[in-house]
Chain A
Amino acid sequence: MDPSPPAFLRFEAVGKRYDDVHAVRDVSLDICSGEFVALVGASGSGKSTLLKCINRLVEPTSGRVLLDGEDVLAGPPAPLRRRIGYVFQGIGLFPHMSVAENIALTPRLEGERLPEARIAELLELVELDPAMATRLPAELSGGQRQRVGVARALAGDSHLLLMDEPFGALDPITRGQLGERVRRLHDDLGLTTVMVTHDMAEALLLATRVLVMDAGQIVADETPAALLAGAGGDIAQALVDVPRAQARQLARTSEGIGE
């Protein structure tokens, strides 16, 4: 076999055990620069744990995670995390800081001041009015808050974006819009994105590669097109069947109205 260049993100036999429970077992995986990877699975399948092994919110009990060829456990966690954008369902905007202060946090941790123009630019990237910079998080809607959360994750100029159920708490319309927006940012900014979701439809619509997890292991690794064509095995197909059945039902309903 040809020695291929090291992957941007590599999992080598990664496992995480809590006492007797194996949350993640023996996951080996390469993710290339520029991929949009969705981690899909039922609750408790280990997808969030696997994601958090990347930015060390969880430390694996066996195996290792390599980012740009370096073990993420090698140095202290703080500088590593500042290089990685992180968006999660809880959003976690700091209530005592304005929108601008929240966005400027990652550079501030490095002792740098983020210029106002850059804050305005980031707000525009997530389709928010730059005038919102002075507001407090409590004055924003849930969708607006998560947009700020995404802007904050991008402020560190990170190349890697980790998202843990990022749109889980949002209403369906906001959810769709923000998902599309993130996908476009992923393309425009040349990001590598790993997104955890339990919604297969969201994964199929946004990702370039879908990993299906079950009981701590990856049971399918396919493109959206292949999954829709029936690849990936029973567990993956059971997940794909949900939106497929919904789509068929919707189609039948609209035909019924048309006749």
Chain B
Amino acid sequence: MSALLDAILDLGPQLAEHVLLCAAAVALGITVALPLAVWASRSPPVARVALGFASLVQTIPALALLALFFPILLAARSIFGEDLPTLGFLPAWLALALYALLPILRNAVTALANLDDELIEAADGLGMTGWQKLRLVEAPLAAPYVMAGIRTASVWTIGAATLATTIGQRSLGDPIFAGLQTQNWVLVLAGCFASAGLALVADALFGLVERGFAKRRPALVITGALLALAGIAGAAMSLVDWRGETRETVVIGSKTFSEQYILGRAIGTLLEDAGFAVEYREGLGSAVIHNAVASGAIDIAVDYTGTLWANELGRSDNPGRAAMYDQIVSWEQENTGVAVLGRLGFENAYGFAVTQQTAEQYGLETIADLAAVAPQLTVGGDPEWFERPEWTTVRDAYGLRFGEQRTYSPTFMYNALVSGEADVISAYTSDGRIAAEYLVVLEDPREALPSYDAIVLVSPRMAEDEALAQALQPLLGAVDVATMRQANYAVDREDDKWPPERAAQWLLEQVAP
């Protein structure tokens, strides 16, 4: 229990950014929804279009909506210039504001449409102008219902904002995603409790304002609004760096799995030792991280040659490990300005893993052996796997026809294999659980699966920075797969779980004693 409390108390900065993000999103939602509602109340076609659009937005899953803003903003750069951020606060803010639109708009439109006809006749008959009618009659009478909409929007937004982590915006989703990847349930619970608690507080405060409007008690309205504003102001104050330091900050990005967290922390530690100020953007989607480096939203990330080969270079051939690396380095140089600092030494490739029992039962040693029995087996993969060209290539190279196909989050994939829900999974070769569970990784005699050398990418902004390159030198070529597996397992295992920082420290000790 006290571990949970500690974890929650550690979430100060995440909570503060979460509050500011949600406040900004709801504020933008209100700014757009209220004038739109007034316009809609004067014009039925506008009401139909506006409500239709808001409802449509609501049907898009929040995660997808957040992710969609990355390409949208990337395209918008042709108008607003290259400095337009494509990750972090801006896309999260815009997506959440869109999400907040519907409840506010719907409540406001309904409230205005259902005002007593007699009051409208009286307002007109007395000689009110349109604006006077809005200010003196419609707004005060619709206020409780509009407030109820704002209240709903706030609670939704606070929940959905946890997903902002995946596009590089710090939020209470950080501990949830980090915990989910490393099976650190205390961290997951801490994030959940914190965001649920925040939602309850917001609900209570806006409930107070709503009651104040409904019962015409301004004191309640003012109390609720002031408390909410105080919370937002407090969040903002807590984030101001009072020391006024102006060191340039290096932003390190990580994808959503343990190895990435560990390597990110290891890189961060080396940079801090070299005098850099460091910030972490953890839990980035695998698909966005390369663009994040290229666009300068983050400065350093570890990526894998095979991933870039397929996703960025759009290639499906397999030239071999060394040639692939060389071609990627020169491709980055020519096309994105991203510097490839070097290889870390290990590969985190895709491979088919089975339990020892399965391997013995079917006599499996290679993927070719697997093809013969595939129709009787269930294959599991992470959400990306079955969409990737590697899957198609390896499937066609060996004629793999599995009986059933399931997707799991990377964390649960290994559990599914061990518990027998899946018979074979698309494992990652550097994963600590391969050693820990005595899993068998099947050989790939036809070399259908490309290599996945871990490489360090540096943003164009920092590409020429000698001190940075110097600081990271000890990591290059120094991390072998056994060391990486061990570090990963220390974070992923059920008992005596290490936080990624500690595993990073251990890794650095192995690499540069």
Contact = CB atoms under 8 A, between A and B. Distances in A.
Interface of A: 55, 57, 76-84, 86, 88, 90-96, 105-106, 109, 152, 156
B119 interface: yes
16 contacts: A77-B127, A80-B127, A81-B126, A82-B127, A84-B127, A88-B125, A90-B118, A91-B122, A92-B116, A92-B118, A92-B119, A92-B123, A95-B119, A105-B136, A109-B132, A156-B127
B330 to A, nearest CB: 71
B141 interface: yes
B216 interface: yes
B129 interface: yes
B124 interface: yes
Nearest to A101: B136
Contacts of B123: 92
A88 B123 CA distance: 12
Contact of A96 (B121, B125, B129, B141): B141
Contact of B127 (A90, A96, A109): A109
A96 B118 contact: no
A152 B123 CA distance: 12
Contacts of A57: 121, 124-125
B121 to A, nearest CB: 6
Contacts of A152: 126
A88 B121 contact: yes
A148 to B, nearest CB: 11
A197 to B, nearest CB: 18
A104 to B, nearest CB: 11
Contacts of B125: 55, 57, 81, 86, 88, 92
A33 to B, nearest CB: 21
A82 B121 contact: no
B329 to A, nearest CB: 70
Interface string B134-157: 001100110000000000000000
A60 B122 CA distance: 20
Interface in B97-142: 116-119, 121-129, 132, 136-137, 140-141
B508 to A, nearest CB: 67
A132 B128 CA distance: 25
Contacts of B140: 96
Tell me the dominant secondary structure on chain B's binding face. helix
Contacts of A84: 127
A78 B118 contact: no
A61 B137 CA distance: 29
Contacts of A78: 127-129, 132
B127 A92 contact: no
Given A88-B118, A109-B128, A109-B132, 14 more contacts: A57-B125, A77-B127, A82-B127, A88-B121, A90-B118, A90-B122, A91-B122, A92-B122, A94-B136, A94-B137, A96-B140, A109-B126, A109-B129, A156-B127
A152 B118 CA distance: 15
A80 B118 CA distance: 20
Nearest to B143: A96
Contacts of A86: 125-126
Contacts of B119: 92, 94-95
A95 B115 CA distance: 12
Contacts of A93: 122
Contacts of A92: 116, 118-119, 121-123, 125
A105 B135 CA distance: 13
Nearest to A79: B127
A84 B137 CA distance: 20
Contacts of A82: 126-127
Contacts of A90: 117-118, 121-122
Contacts of A156: 127
B128 to A, nearest CB: 6
A120 to B, nearest CB: 21
Most central of A78, A79, A106 by chain B CB within 10 Å:
A78
Please list the 10 inter-chain residue pairs (A to B) with the smallest Cβ-Cβ separation, ordered nearest first.
A92-B122, A90-B118, A81-B127, A82-B127, A86-B125, A92-B118, A78-B127, A78-B129, A96-B140, A92-B119
